[in-house]
């Protein structure tokens, strides 16, 4: 499972011209589910998102988590994070999980955030064309991989 985690001042998701979710200061997480991912990967990702210390403390050091700053979290499914463009200019998506299983693991990650960490994530709309608007704060952007391949 891969994610792009961005510290944001705000983020919104639109589909078909309609605002479907929004957050204030916190984290925008773009989440991609890879072939072979399991519930363990979803749990790892949720725990990492909840504990990631990328907010500044009183000394200006990144030492606080989204929970420490009472921030919000938005999780948007994005299969294109598994795109492979190493050999060609047109990416291949063979490493992206089947949509049904991907949605199951995406929702499991969101549920883990809520049940274990008391973070109720805003969500995108799975398998829809979305427009994501954000104001990146910093900018601070990190890449996470449950298999720790980078």
Task: Say which of 78, 88, 126, 141 is annotated catalytic.
Answer: 78
The CA distance from 9 to 147, in Å, is: 29
- Whether 79 sits among the annotated catalytic residues: the reply is yes
Half-sphere exposure of 17 (CA within 13 A, CB side): 0
Best CA proximity match to 13, nearest among 136, 125, 139, 126: 125
- Whether 80 sits among the annotated catalytic residues: the reply is yes
Task: Say which of 6, 15, 80, 131 is annotated catalytic.
Answer: 80
C-alpha distances (whole Å) from 122 to each of 69, 93, 133, 147 are 17, 26, 14, 25
Task: Say which of 6, 55, 72, 79 is annotated catalytic.
Answer: 79
Question: Which residues have a catalytic role annotated?
Answer: 78-80
């Amino acid at each position: 499972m891969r994610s792009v985690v961005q510290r944001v001042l705000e983020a919104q998701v639109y589909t078909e011209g309609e605002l479907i979710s929004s957050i204030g200061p916190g984290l925008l997480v773009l989440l991609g589910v890879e072939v072979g991912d399991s519930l363990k990967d979803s749990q790892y990702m949720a725990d990492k998102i909840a504990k990631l210390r990328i907010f500044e403390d009183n000394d200006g050091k990144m030492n606080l988590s989204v929970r420490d700053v009472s921030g919000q979290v938005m999780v948007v499914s994005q299969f294109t994070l598994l795109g492979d463009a190493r050999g060609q200019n047109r990416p291949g998506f063979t490493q992206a999980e089947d949509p049904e299983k991907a949605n199951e693991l995406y929702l499991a990650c969101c549920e883990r955030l809520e049940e274990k960490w008391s973070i109720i994530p805003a969500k995108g709309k799975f398998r829809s064309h979305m427009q994501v608007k954000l104001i990146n704060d910093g900018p601070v952007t990190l890449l996470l991989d449950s298999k720790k391949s980078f």
